[in-house]
Amino acid sequence: MEYSKKTRVGFIGLGIMGRNMAGHVLAAGHPLAVYNRSRDKAAELLAKGARWCDTPGDVAAQSDVVITMVGFPRDVEEVWLGPDGVLSRARDALLIDMTTSSPELARRIAGVAATRHCEALDAPVSGGEIGARDAKLSIMVGGSEQAFAQALPILKLMGTKVVRQGEAGAGQHTKMCNQIVIASTIMGVCEGIAYGQAAGLHLPTVLQSIGAGAAGGFQLNVLGAKIIDGDFAPGFFIEHFVKDLGIALEEAKAMELELPGLALSRKLYARLIEQGHGRLGTQALYKSYGARA
């Protein structure tokens, strides 16, 4: 595939992340075909000139590059390998899954793609809704060097850091490293804020100090500030994070690696889902803290 502004792009999955990411592809001038489970999420892109397709297969039939950004591995499986899926119609195309999904599924998809004369990349992202909106995502890619080189101009429309990590599945493994770091970090953020509250401190003032020191970072500065404001609206759904932590734990188990922080974080988040909080943002972990011992 020779990249140009005429390269036809298909985008499937237009939620919090996907609709922002697809918007950058459209704004760069590419013809854009879109599909999403609920059509209403496509309205804004359709008004700006994107074309609606009725199935993932239809998207693939009209695209040189297909990008997916759905929710769970089961959604990836349906959209790629289902009867009307991307791989039922794709031919000589570059296929990129940006969902956070399992490394094993990424390798399976790459294998099927090869039988359709297609190249597949796994390219999960970090940077959240803000990173998607501002085209400042960090994109971690698994797949062949040749496919990576072809994908680079399009991925750069959505991210500022685009790095190839290895063969198929390596992008997803890297994303698991990212989620493992966040799993323990967010527990620390909640505990620090719970402690500050119990000590009677003025929390926004505490954040001014500790957010500017060695503890600073996205989890503390952005999500910690939301916790202090009592804002638990989703940028990143708890149910998606629990999905990621489950994948990471399974992969770690297969590698005979014990990760106690990851296991505890998953347990606390799973409890929040049981309490009906799965569609809140990950900062709602704070609801597990704050009670005095």
Distance CA 220, CA 193 (A): 9
245 interacts with ligand NAP by CB under 6 A: no
Distance CA 225, CA 228 (A): 5
Report which residue's Cβ sits closest to ligand NAP.
15
Stretch that binds ligand NAP, among 143-151, 159-167, 190-198, 230-238 (CB under 6 A): 230-238
Stretch that binds ligand NAP, among 42-50, 64-72, 146-154, 184-192 (CB under 6 A): 64-72
Candidates 129, 153, 142; CA nearest to 18 is 129
Q: In the set 100, 150, 174, 219, which binds ligand NAP (CB under 6 A)?
A: 100
85 interacts with ligand NAP by CB under 6 A: no
- What is the number of other CB atoms lying within 10 angstroms of the CB of residue 185? 18
Pairing mode, strands 32-35 and 51-52: parallel
232 interacts with ligand NAP by CB under 6 A: no
Q: Which residue has the tokens 């000590």?
A: 199
Q: In the set 23, 31, 85, 235, which binds ligand NAP (CB under 6 A)?
A: 235
Residue placing its CB nearer to ligand NAP in the complex, 16 or 152? 16
Distance CA 50, CA 153 (A): 20
Letters for 7-46 (x = contact with ligand NAP by CB under 6 A, - = none) are -----xxxxxxx-----------------xxx--x-----
Distance CA 128, CA 115 (A): 34
128 interacts with ligand NAP by CB under 6 A: yes
Written as six digits, the tokens of 124 are 């999960």
Dihedral angle, C-alpha 46, 50, 51, 55, nearest 10 ° = -90
Least distance between ligand NAP and beta carbon 275 (Å): 20
Distance CA 242, CA 181 (A): 14
Q: Catalog residues that contact ligand NAP under the rule CB under 6 A.
A: 12-18, 36-38, 41, 69-71, 75, 78-79, 99-100, 125-126, 128-129, 235-237, 240, 244
